[in-house]
Chains A and B, each alone.
Chain A
Amino acid sequence: MHDNRRQVLDMLAQGKINSDEAERLITALERSDMPMARDTSAVKYLRVLVDANDEQEGPTKVNVRVPMQLLRAGVRLTGVIPDRAREQVNDALRKEGILFDINKLTPDNLEDMIEQLRDLSVDVDNERAKVRVFCE
């Protein structure tokens, strides 16, 4: 973002734009900076909201908040699984048609995945229940 600002200043110095235009461009750049600054905050919780209406049990509302640290800790736990057991897990996953290698599940990969989860929002809406899963 600093490069863009410098480009604007260079254009001003070269006389390609006047000071008003430079100010407008820099203001626009600052505005575009804001959402990025917000995006760098860590995803802290996975939220699950359920609003169900069962004929027998009546209306039920469930609100669950799970810390993302639990996911991170779970991945660290996979690090202590012996190699032989890892292969067995991979084989079992393969048999179920899930092509996933738990050896590739590392804390670094997980951070990337969690970063992607920021935009995750699952909404299920049917006659009986509304379910919403999102990260915050």
Chain B
Amino acid sequence: MTQEILPPLSASVHVKPAGWRFGLRLWLPLFLLWLLLIPLLVLALPLLFVGSLIFRFNLWRSLRAANGVLAATRGSQVEVDKRDARIFIKLH
């Protein structure tokens, strides 16, 4: 069973409010968000390290598991079709 390593790199969002002839089709580059968050994570690492010593958890395993959860969201898809709007979100 292969495990995804990378978090979702982009998201497709389609929104079509009722009455609109054409909906909005957005492509969100999530990788830019991750790039922005990496420096914050690096800054938070010392705090996380101290926290791991206090609360006795394996920091490396925790980070890997958290990344695993994030990466596993790739392929998720949500579609809602209501009277007043239609929304579609997919993580790539």
Contact = CB atoms under 8 A, between A and B. Distances in A.
B1 interface: yes
Contacts of A37: none
Categorize the interface residue count of chain B. Answer: 20 to 34
A77 B66 contact: yes
A80 B82 contact: no
B34 interface: no
A66 interface: yes
B58 A73 contact: no
Interface string A67-101: 10110111011011110000000000000000000
A70 to B, nearest CB: 4
Given A67-B73, A73-B69, A79 B61 contact: yes
A72 B79 CA distance: 23
A42 B74 contact: no
B19 to A, nearest CB: 14
B76 interface: yes
B69 A74 contact: yes
A10 B75 CA distance: 50
A40 interface: no
B65 interface: yes
Interface residues of A, number: 26
B62 interface: yes
A42 B76 contact: no
A76 B68 CA distance: 8
Contact of B72 (A57, A61, A67): A67
A59 B69 contact: no
A81 B1 CA distance: 23
A72 B26 CA distance: 30
Contacts of A65: 75-78
Interface of A: 42, 44-45, 57-67, 69-70, 72-74, 76-77, 79-82, 111
Given A69-B4, A69-B75, 18 more contacts: A44-B75, A60-B82, A61-B80, A61-B81, A62-B79, A63-B79, A72-B3, A72-B72, A73-B65, A73-B68, A73-B71, A73-B72, A77-B65, A77-B68, A81-B57, A82-B56, A82-B57, A111-B1
